[in-house]
Chains A and B, each alone.
Chain A
Amino acid sequence: AQSVTQPDIHITVSEGASLELRCNYSYGATPYLFWYVQSPGQGLQLLLKYFSGDTLVQGIKGFEAEFKRSQSSFNLRKPSVHWSDAAEYFCAVGATGGSYIPTFGRGTSLIVHP
């Protein structure tokens, strides 16, 4: 069965600092990979996705993520964090094989200090 691990429950950064959120997945082949953001009181919104091709993908709000097959990772990065980036971030794997159920990580809560 596929799984997604986000090892950091909380991350605290200062405004203007760089950010990296970690995500590791477990699946035999390369699945479809996603990062979603959940702002307080709202639903999840897609930040970016990787299906194939260039392993560095650009998303909305200045985010990017890099797929590394050898490490089974799909880490999310942003060079300079803004206070409005404070939110919950979820890494996800699309349904694969004979399953029709996407798998989400447990989320990383980003706290931004002024």
Chain B
Amino acid sequence: EAQVTQNPRYLITVTGKKLTVTCSQNMNHEYMSWYRQDPGLGLRQIYYSMNVEVTDKGDVPEGYKVSRKEKRNFPLILESPSPNQTSLYFCASGPGQGRETQYFGPGTRLLVL
């Protein structure tokens, strides 16, 4: 089954404790991205990747890091989480360098205390 998976689905942490949210896709897409969803603000892109070892900032990259060492994986790293990073996070992948349909993971709900 074609899908995007994310782990964990729910995460509670404390300010400053580094965390990683994993993302994997099995559709051989070159384009992958991370979004955060906040009430009233819709989806905002954090980072995207055009291919292995090619990543770039989205609209709200501050406080986040990503890496793309393999085509199928695109982890999101919060080196020092803060409460304002409490949000719902989605990983997505797709063909066409962001122009075409995006396939979303189920989401990771993060609470930073």
Interfacial residues, chain A to chain B (CB-CB below 8 A): 9, 32, 34, 36, 41-46, 49, 90, 92, 94-96, 99-102, 104-107
Contact = CB atoms under 8 A, between A and B. Distances in A.
A25 to B, nearest CB: 14
A82 B33 CA distance: 32
16 contacts: A34-B101, A43-B104, A43-B106, A44-B90, A45-B104, A90-B43, A94-B100, A95-B99, A100-B98, A101-B48, A101-B59, A101-B98, A102-B45, A102-B98, A102-B102, A104-B35
B53 to A, nearest CB: 16
Q: How large is the interface on B (under 10, 10 to 19, 20 to 34, 35 or more residues)?
A: 20 to 34
A95 B98 contact: yes
| 8 smallest beta-carbon distances between A and B, as pairs | A95-B98, A43-B104, A106-B42, A94-B99, A104-B43, A100-B98, A44-B104, A43-B106
Contacts, number: 63
A94 to B, nearest CB: 4
The secondary-structure label for the interface of chain A is: loop
Contacts of A44: 43, 90, 92, 102, 104
Interface of B: 4, 31, 33, 35, 40-45, 48, 50, 56, 58-59, 90, 92, 96-107
Contact of A43 (B31, B44, B59, B107): B107
Contact of B98 (A9, A42, A94, A105): A94
A49 B101 CA distance: 8
A107 B50 contact: no
B90 A90 contact: no
